[in-house]
Amino acid sequence: MTDRMDTRQNRQSIIDAGLEMNATGLNQGTSGNISLRCETGILITPSGIAYDKLVPEDIVLVREDGSCPDEQVPSSEWKFHFAAYRAQKTANAVVHNHALNATTLAILNRPIPAIHYMVAVGGGNDIPVIDYATYGTGALSDLVHEGLIERKAILMRHHGMIATGPTLAKAMWLAGEVEALATLYVNLLQITDTPPCLPDDEIDRVLKKFESYGLREKA
């Protein structure tokens, strides 16, 4: 369990990340959700409140048993956030959004293949698509858990994407990289249905190099 605490600063960082998602086009309106792992559970965006209306006190603490203080209403997707943390043991942040190109591919049930070496940021030779299940259900949580066991980011059929990270900044960075890859792939599919891809052994080399690569955060 991480030593990340339920602090006003961490709550504000969730709000700031939500505003950034919408400002950069990674998300729209009140869709999507963001969480941070904390000592007693997770801090997560509430249900149905626009990011630009949030204050730190609106961010919901969901305990390990699913309970919330003061009758607050968390995002309906809180269950799959817990599932993501169970799958990605080193993750301390989960970002979910409905980025347009990633969601386009998710609807088509098209994983993002190794069209570019940066696909390795997701932890493998593709960004896979998990099957569809109704939002907020245990069935969706099970699919998220299975999909994230071997990947840091996944697409969700007829839904959107999930990106994880050891910090919120790194999870946001990964979400942006996945959408960039999705945009590139959508563009390629307008030219050919079978764009050339890098072989698995090259992606294995890149994965090794990526052990020391990624967003660097200043102290």
SS3 letters across 179-211: HHHHHHHHHHHCCCCCCCCCCHHHHHHHHHHHH
Q: Which one of the listed residues 64, 77, 150, 211 is annotated catalytic?
A: 77
Sequence letter at residue 193: D
CB within 8 A of 86, min separation 6: which ones? 145
DSSP letters spanning 119-148: GGGGTSSSB-EEPP--TTSHHHHHHHHHHH
3-class DSSP state of 88: coil
Count of C-beta atoms within a 10 Å radius of residue 145: 18
Is residue 77 among the annotated active site residues?
A: yes
Any idea which residues carry the catalytic annotation?
Answer: 77
